[in-house]
Amino acid sequence: MQNCRYIQGAVALFATLLIGTPLLAAEAGLVSGRVTSAEAPLPVSQVYAYQLGDLTLRKVTTDESGSFVFHDLPSGLYKIIAFKPGFLPGIALLSRASAQAVQFLEVELKSRDEAAADSKADFWSIRQQIPTDVLRDIDLAVITTAEATPSPRLDGLRASMRAVSGVDTIAMTRTAQLSGGQVDVAAEMDRVQVEVSGRYLALEAAPNGFAASPADGYSQVVSVDVSGLGTNRFRVTSIDNELDDTNERIGIQSHRLSWSRDVGRRGRSELAAQYTAENNFYAGGGFSRLALPAGSRVWDLEGSYSTSIGERSSLEAGFRYRDRHLELVDSAIFDGILPQERVELFGRAGTAVSPAVLLEYGLYSTLRDGTLSFMPQGGIVLQLNDAWRASTSASLKLHEDPIEARRLNDFHTAYFRDYASCERAAAECYQVALSRIVDGEERLRLGAVHRRFDETLRLQFDENFFNYRENLQLVHGDSVPELRFALTQRLTPNILARFESNLGAGGGGRVQLADRKTSYENNVRYVVTSVDTLFEQTATEVFLAFHHLRQRFTSLSHRAHDEHIELERLQLMLTQDLAVLSSMAADWAVQLNIELSRGTAATADKMVASDEIRQRITGGLTVKF
């Protein structure tokens, strides 16, 4: 009966948000634009987004106004190619700092007659800049237009295969073999697009002259994406990871089904359900005495609706529901601490006060175990001139909260790439940023963010499951300011580079570890830096990244030892497209990845320090048809 009252209250609050709260002005993660010719829109033009790093391709069609939109385009360097029969293809280079960035670009096409009068618009030189699979699709569109065949057909069939092999060595005494592969297939039947992707990577113990490695496991991901069924899109993703690391079995499985639908000309609704089962994933790879559960089973359900109101405002409202069941090592530790059910409701809005001023505001609420918290959010975006943009935002959680005194209120996990969101685990969040936009592309970004946490957050810095130890634990009371810098610069006419760096340091949160006898103060520090350079003339990409993480639990009693972990990782990845070196029927690319990492750890039970060098070297070969 008590849970029913919680849900009834959540539904009432959600209805209030739907009726009275407007939303963000732009959906995060959109890449939009227009295709024109002599300033006139070109409807039914094909627009391709070709990622130069992993050779993936996406395709959309412009509407009656010549506009196009790519949803959920990951970070990276892209070639945007626009084409319509009777015109020369148009090419633009796009750099995406993150999958959440909102970008706009305009591509102008020249007709064949205009190109004949323009010596710079050489048809064959333009074709040499277009990837093979895009050319194949363009040529097929030209043939189809000439034949004017209305019958349904299988169009734009694309496939890519990748093989990976290498070694993972720890201090030259424990070695494991890495092997795996990836297959991607995409096809279009009339207007229905189907994409199937599968990836598998295995870590297998390999005996050597000293000892056999205790580490072995696997990581696999399968996804199916169907779009174009009217205005519907379905996506199914299944993830299964398992690792036996120093006699500790780590595993996590996740199965997600999502559906989205365009409602009218301006509305969009989304619904997703996910099941996650983990074993030692949250509790392992960090401070084992932090009193995280040894396993959990979680159901997540979320939905949202967004729409535009007139020409100046847009709104979004949604909900998230979670049901968590724990597998406990010691039920007395967690008794009455972690909530089983959690309901989150939100409403966001954006209003263009003037062409240069955008106001953002909203409300985020959480209902759990009889407590209700509210987080008002507000922000402003200022277009200073044609190139410079400034933004600031703030959010503050308000609640009457008996759980403030609890040692572990709740716990979440997040990847560093998604860390920009302030909705999970943060009690306060303040952000400022200054950006320089040129031709719809963010060339420079300076920013700072300050967060104070009221829940435990496991921040994961690498999406590679085998690097699951690369994480930091943020606890109740931690305050962590962070500086951000990103610069995209064309060094020469054929060399494009992007530099990114994030520096965060803070802490101050106090936690009582699993023994309930000693209190500790948390301190964290991290540096995440990367340089991505593309040599366009030879289609060579060089990616260099450095991570430094440090966490220390300082004992507030002289009778106990401190606990600390320090990790460093250096990564160098080289990607070479072989198609530019010789004429081939398909696109071939090779990739070499080298990672060097080391870690030092000391626990309160046993002062043990290690500084082992871990080497991971893998090579890959990709072919696209």
Q: Which residues pair with 50 in a beta bridge?
A: 57, 79
pLDDT value at position 170? 61
Instruction: Lowest mean pLDDT of 222-226, 355-359, 531-535, name the range.
Output: 355-359
Question: Residue range 501-526: average pLDDT?
Answer: 83
pLDDT value at position 10? 42
Evaluate if residue 116 carries a pLDDT over 60: no
pLDDT value at position 342? 87
Burial 503-540 (b: 16+ CB within 10 A, else e): bbebbebbbbbbeeebbbbbbbbbebebebbbbbeebb
Domains of the chain are 2-31+151-201+211-399+409-624 (2.40.170.20), 32-147 (2.60.40.1120)
Instruction: Lowest mean pLDDT of 59-63, 183-187, 292-296, 347-351, name the range.
Output: 292-296
Evaluate if residue 227 carries a pLDDT over 50: yes
pLDDT value at position 130? 82
| Confidence tier at 20 by pLDDT (50, 70, 90) | very low
Tokens of 448: 């700072």
pLDDT value at position 501? 95
| Confidence tier at 74 by pLDDT (50, 70, 90) | confident
Does an H or E element contain 229, and which? Answer: strand 216-229
| Each residue's pLDDT tens digit, 375-393 | 899 999 999 988 899 999 9
pLDDT value at position 368? 76
| Each residue's pLDDT tens digit, 208-225 | 544 444 568 899 999 999
Q: Which residue has the higher pLDDT, 395 or 207?
A: 395
pLDDT value at position 448? 95
Evaluate if residue 22 carries a pLDDT over 90: no
d(CA 373, CA 364): 8
CB 173 within 8 A of CB 165: no
Furthest CA-CA distance within the chain: 85
Tokens of 348: 């966001």
pLDDT value at position 425? 73
Q: What angle do CA 319, 323, 329 make, to 5 degrees?
A: 145
Question: Residue range 59-68: average pLDDT?
Answer: 89
pLDDT value at position 594? 94
Query: Would strands 371-383 and 398-399 be described as parallel, antiparallel, or unpaired?
Result: antiparallel
Question: Residue range 156-177: average pLDDT?
Answer: 79
d(CA 121, CA 128): 12
Q: Which residue has the higher pLDDT, 206 or 59?
A: 59
Instruction: Write out 150-214 in H/E/C secondary structure.
Output: CCCCEEEEEEEEEEEEEEEEECCCEEEEEEEEEEEEEEEECCEEEEEEEEEEEEEEECCCCCCCC
CB 79 within 8 A of CB 541: no
Going through 384-425 in order, the beta strands assigned E by DSSP cover 388-396, 398-399, 411-415
Q: Under 8 Å CB-to-CB from 62, ≥6 apart: which residues?
A: 34, 35, 41, 42, 43, 44, 45, 47, 68
| Each residue's pLDDT tens digit, 130-163 | 887 787 777 666 544 544 444 444 556 788 899 9
CB 488 within 8 A of CB 95: yes
Reported pTM: 0.72
Which among 484, 481, 394, 482 is positioned nearest to 442, based on CA atoms?
484
> Which of the listed ranges 120-124, 156-160, 404-408, 500-504 does the model predict with the highest average pLDDT?
500-504
By three-state DSSP, how is residue 261 classified?
strand
Q: Which residue has the tokens 């030692």?
A: 280
d(CA 201, CA 65): 44
pLDDT averaged over every residue in the chain: 79
d(CA 45, CA 38): 15
> Which of the listed ranges 52-66, 388-402, 490-504 does the model predict with the highest average pLDDT?
490-504
pLDDT value at position 367? 83
Phi and psi at 188, nearest 5°, equal -135, 125
d(CA 137, CA 133): 6
| Each residue's pLDDT tens digit, 262-296 | 887 778 899 999 999 988 887 765 555 566 677 88
Count the helix, strand and coil residues of the chain and give each as a percent rounded to the nearest 5.
10, 60, 30
Instruction: Write out 337-383 in H/E/C secondary structure.
Output: CCCCEEEEEEEEEEEEEECCEEEEEEEEEEEECCEEEEEEEEEEEEE
pLDDT value at position 277? 92
pLDDT value at position 517? 66
Q: Which residue has the tokens 């064309």?
A: 490
Phi and psi at 271, nearest 5°, equal -145, 140
| Confidence tier at 125 by pLDDT (50, 70, 90) | low
Does an H or E element contain 112, and which? Answer: helix 112-116
How many contiguous H segments (helices) and E segments (strands) does the chain have?
5, 34
pLDDT value at position 451? 92
Q: Under 8 Å CB-to-CB from 289, ≥6 apart: which residues?
A: 513, 514, 515, 563, 603, 604, 605
Question: Residue range 96-114: average pLDDT?
Answer: 80
Q: What angle do CA 506, 509, 513 make, to 5 degrees?
A: 130
